[in-house]
Structure 1
Amino acid sequence: MSAYSPAVSPRMTRQQAAASLVEGVEQDLGAASAIHALLERQFQAALRHQGAELGALAEELTPALDAMDARRRQRVALVRALQGPEGTMAGFIAAQPEPGRARLAASWGELERLVVLCKSATTRNSNLLAEQFSTMQRVLHNADGTYAPR
């Protein structure tokens, strides 16, 4: 596969644009799986209060998420270039010939499923970290009188 290019080239043919779009979906499938695994590791590290591990995971997550977002932006631009300003992935998929259409539809469905899992894991992790931070603030600042004499 070719290296990812975040820009849509004005010299790109319709066939090249479609191929680039499909390749981006396949790249995002792998990226979303890897991101989900990192989010699961992040959760475990947060449960165990492993600050160094959390920092290392953040350093891995940030570029992975940035690359995936760049591919998403390119995908939107390519779909609009191929189908007009109101173009959608569903419309693009429907316009593809078989056997590629079925494979792309399956890949797109799996990518959507993985993105939902990642969003759910991100929310779960954020809630845990916020709860831990809130607990530490109460302990450090004795906000609820936890250590006050009775």
Structure 2
Amino acid sequence: MSPPVPRLTRQQAASALADGVEQDLVAANAIHALLERQFQAALRHQGDALGALAEELAPALDAMDARRRQRVALVRALHGADATMAGFIAAQAEPGRAKLAAAWSELERLVVACKLATTRNGNLLAEQFSVMQRVLHGGDGTYAPR
């Protein structure tokens, strides 16, 4: 369910959307940096660092998701239930449209980079867990005589 949209003028809503994209750009860059630190900590088996990074990531991701939900609600309030951010951007006047389009494109690129880093990190941690399970509980029979 989308959060309630406060009463805003169209200009205030458009401004809030643009501000949210800018905030998400800053947040996505910070999240990507945290994910890179998480990967390095996982490579080095630094459990304490992994825990601390998880504590930093969770609120950053929550805040970014809250802005995403607000963005969806605002775009739909302005342009209808099926509206998209691309449609919202296309309806904006210049010079704001070009700046917002560039910011949105960069945000999309960063989100993809964060998703790839998250997958990479998860795969590494899963592999490390699997190795530890084999070490602690015996092999899976791969090298056992038949």
TM-score (norm 2): 0.93
The correspondence for 1:93, drawn from 89, 93, 96, is: 89
- Distance in structure 2 (CA, Å) of the matches to 1:48 and 1:128: 11
1:133 and 2:144 correspond: no
CA gap 1:18/1:7 in 2 versus in 1, 3 angstroms: same
Superposed structure 1 runs of 4+ greater than 2 Å apart: 143-146
- Distance in structure 1 (CA, Å) of the matches to 2:140 and 2:18: 55
- Distance in structure 2 (CA, Å) of the matches to 1:43 and 1:111: 21
Q: Measure how far apart 1:7 and its partner are.
A: 4.5
Q: Which amino acid in 1 is paired with 2:109?
A: R
Unpaired stretches in structure 1, ≥5 consecutive residues? 1-5
Query: Partner residue of 1:24?
Result: 20
- Distance in structure 2 (CA, Å) of the matches to 1:63 and 1:71: 12
Q: Measure how far apart 1:24 and its partner are.
A: 0.3
- Distance in structure 1 (CA, Å) of the matches to 2:82 and 2:50: 40
TM-score (norm 1): 0.91
Q: Which amino acid in 1 is paired with 2:86?
A: A
Query: Partner residue of 1:83?
Result: 79
- Distance in structure 1 (CA, Å) of the matches to 2:111 and 2:88: 20
Number of residue equivalences: 141
- Distance in structure 2 (CA, Å) of the matches to 1:145 and 1:89: 53
Query: Partner residue of 1:43?
Result: 39
Q: Which amino acid in 2 is paired with 1:138?
A: R
Query: Partner residue of 1:124?
Result: 120
Q: Measure how far apart 1:144 and its partner are.
A: 3.0
- Distance in structure 2 (CA, Å) of the matches to 1:102 and 1:7: 29
Give secondary structure in 2 for the equivalent of 1:77. Answer: helix
**Structure 1 vs Structure 2 CA RMSD:** 1.4
The correspondence for 1:115, drawn from 111, 117, 121, is: 111
Query: Partner residue of 1:3?
Result: none
Give secondary structure in 1 for the equivalent of 2:92. Answer: coil
Q: Measure how far apart 1:23 and its partner are.
A: 0.4
